[in-house]
Amino acid sequence: MANPSWSRRHIISLADFQPEEYDTVLQTAASFQEVLSRRTKKVPALQGQVIANLFFEPSTRTRSSFELAAKRLSADTLNFAPGTSSLTKGETILDTAKTYLAMGTDIMVVRHREAGVPLAIANEMDRLQSRVGVFNAGDGQHEHPSQALLDLFTLCMLLNPEKPALSLLAGKKIAIVGDILHSRVARSNIWSLTASGAEVHLAGPPTLLPKLFADFVSSPDSSINGIDRKLFLHWSLQPALEAADFVMTLRLQRERMTQHLLPSLREYHQQFGLTHNRLKWCNPTVKVLHPGPVNRGVEISSELMDDPKFSLISQQVTSGVAVRMALLYLMGSGKLS
């Protein structure tokens, strides 16, 4: 049952993902997408296994997607509710994880507002020689791998629903717009999209762009983890959007205002909000993505968000279940090897 091209126990970051791993995820997700179109949308793949959703940072939307993916693989799910938990009684996060390990959890899906928590739990699970897989469902401003993989799946399925593959994106121009600096979604997407051979163009207000990538982007075609990556930075929207094939806009946290990183939502929308008018800069077949939840009229106009000719937002949510099924399945069958 183990997949020969899959050897990861944990999914923490896409930084070192290899092209064949992306392709395994895309093809496995495509087969689950097909399952989801049937009347009975379940497979017995993970029957009897336990998936614990340890959402230290609450999120109904992402938790529901993971929970549904787990249930459709026939796994049992446990939901950890931080508000009523032992954490308020002084237990450490690693002790909480060890408790779920001792109960017999097979996969832990971990979200936390601090970067590094899923990795710390994964390291502890390995140190204890357990076979538990840890799945990063978003850690601080670090990474959100399943979001980037569902974005990738959405794009590749659009280009070739018969055989989605990473290489389909080679040569495409993809813009990522908004608060890149604080976005784990952007960080994970930069790894996956640049791995495909696409040109990735980041655009946002200077206060919301990372210094981090400065050296990297000063010499495009840098090689990181064995892959040549094309990454560009822009302080305004137009150069990122010109001739773009896909535009991904990011959620803007309202707290950026109180942190004095932005003058106002209205001004942000005037400079970086996506509208039908601005899409005219792009390739005519352009499509728009957003990880949700959307602040309508801020990152994107309400009209554009609801226009099925351009918006892939619903497809992203649908892809989310198939991609998370694929990842849980690959982690779960990896356990058997």
Q: What is the contact surface with a copy of itself in residues (CB under 8 A)?
A: 36, 38-42, 47-50, 52, 58-61, 64-65, 67-68, 71-72, 76, 78, 80-81, 83-86, 89-92, 95-96, 98-104, 251, 254, 292-296, 314-318, 320-321, 336
**3-state class (DSSP) for residue 95:** helix
Taking each continuous run of H as one helix and of E as one strand, the counts in the chain are 13, 10
| Residue whose CB is less far from a copy of itself, 89 or 211 | 89
C-beta of 147 vs 194, nearer to a copy of itself: 147
To a copy of itself, the closest distance from the beta carbon of 26 in angstroms equals 19
CA-only gyration radius of the chain, Å: 20
CB of 75 to a copy of itself, least distance (A): 10
Q: How far apart are CA 251 and CA 261, in angstroms?
A: 15
Minimum CB distance to a copy of itself smaller for 27 or for 59: 59
- Count the neighbouring beta carbons within 10 Å of the beta carbon of residue 171: 12
CA angle 332, 112, 97 (to 5 degrees): 55
Cβ 171 to a copy of itself, closest distance in Å? 29
Shortest gap between Cβ of 336 and a copy of itself (angstroms)? 8
Query: Around Cβ 143, how many Cβ atoms within 10 Å?
Result: 27
Output the CA–CA distances (angstroms, integers) from residue 131 to 23, 56, 99, in the order listed. Answer: 24, 22, 15
What is the smallest separation between the CB atom of 8 and a copy of itself, expressed in angstroms?
A: 20
CB closer to a copy of itself, 96 vs 196: 96
**Residue 280 vs residues 31, 228, 242, 303: alpha-carbon distances, Å:** 35, 30, 8, 15
Return the closest-CA partner of residue 234 out of 253, 256, 259, 209. 209
Say how far apart CA 187 and CA 314 lie, in whole Å: 22
Identity of the residue, 127 or 211, whose beta carbon is nearer to a copy of itself in the bound complex = 127
Kind of pairing between the strands at 173-177 and 133-139: unpaired
CB closer to a copy of itself, 40 vs 223: 40
What 8-state DSSP symbol labels residue 220?
Answer: S
Cα torsion angle, 210, 253, 203, 227, sign: positive
The DSSP letter of residue 263 is: S
**Residue 82 CB, nearest distance to a copy of itself (Å)?**
8
* Least distance between a copy of itself and beta carbon 80 (Å): 6
Q: Which is nearer to a copy of itself, 42 or 163 (CB)?
A: 42
